Amino acid sequence: MQHLRRPAVAGMFYPDQPLTLSRKVKELLSAAPLSVGSGGAVPKALIVPHAGYIYSGATAALAYARLAPAHAAIKRVVLLGPVHRVPVRGLALAGATLFSTPLGEIEIDQESVTALTGMPQIVVSAAAHAQEHSLEVQLPFLQSVLDDFKLLPLVVGDATPDEVAQVLDVLWGGTETLIVVSSDLSHFLPYTRAQSVDAATARRILQLNTTITHEQACGGTPINGLLVAARAHQLEPQLLGLCNSGDTAGDKGRVVGYAAFAFTEKQYVTH
């Protein structure tokens, strides 16, 4: 029996009409310059923001555009984001077999679900997923840039960085697997203060510093878990873009910070 997780924020965070949504995402992706200094390597992991597309879509697109060379190779996306509405202990699966957006349905990777069986930090909570936007807003980007993939969506609540990293290790895979962490940065600070705070947070992430707080990033827990795993797997982080809602579609009195990061495997030069 199939259980479908329907979109909760279509028409609010992003367009709910398929054609309009497809055009919007393609517009954002086409406007995203490919970053210099990556050596052309396809990222193993991304950190992307999750506000409405008018606020943070251009920043998220900086990361998703980097996936274009691997559009056919990436077959599984492990997607993690914070819970905003329903508290959970650990990392929660949705108990669904399909997630849908206006662009279509995405199959949940049941092999990955089975691989996580028995891990004490893994729970199932349809309620935690039902209204959660942090994962949902990423899906149209993934549907637009990748060909055919399965999804392993996890909302992250009260967990330690090591608990998150243990789950990522189980699901790490090879080049067929992409890890995406969804997180905004600081919330509701004045513009110049947010710029300072978010720049400091970005430096910590680039240093693989696993002490990111929820005041610095709402997805601090999955970010810290990714950083633990990035250290263990020798990934190199790169900042692709950093801004806030005062730069895009909001006033400068109370802003939300956004950043995009790509993590690639270290390139070893042989002579």
201 CB burial (10 A radius; 0-12, 13-18, 19+): buried
Backbone angles phi, psi at 242, to 5 degrees: -145, 125
Residue type, 66: R
Beta bridge partner(s), residue 258: 243
Q: What pLDDT, on a 0 to 100 scale, did the predictor assign at position 121?
A: 98
Q: What pLDDT, on a 0 to 100 scale, did the predictor assign at position 182?
A: 98
Q: What pLDDT, on a 0 to 100 scale, did the predictor assign at position 39?
A: 58
Q: What pLDDT, on a 0 to 100 scale, did the predictor assign at position 78?
A: 98
Q: What pLDDT, on a 0 to 100 scale, did the predictor assign at position 212?
A: 98
Q: What pLDDT, on a 0 to 100 scale, did the predictor assign at position 33?
A: 82
CA nearest to 49, candidates 243, 271, 231, 210:
243
Length of the chain: 271
Quote the CA–CA distance of 131 and 179 in Å, as a whole number: 22
10-residue stretch averages of pLDDT, the chain, 271 residues long? 89 98 98 67 96 98 97 98 96 97 98 97 97 98 98 98 98 98 98 98 98 97 98 97 96 97 78 47
Domain 4-265 part of CATH 3.90.960.10? no
Q: What pLDDT, on a 0 to 100 scale, did the predictor assign at position 266?
A: 83
Quote the CA–CA distance of 133 and 125 in Å, as a whole number: 15
Q: What pLDDT, on a 0 to 100 scale, did the predictor assign at position 271?
A: 47
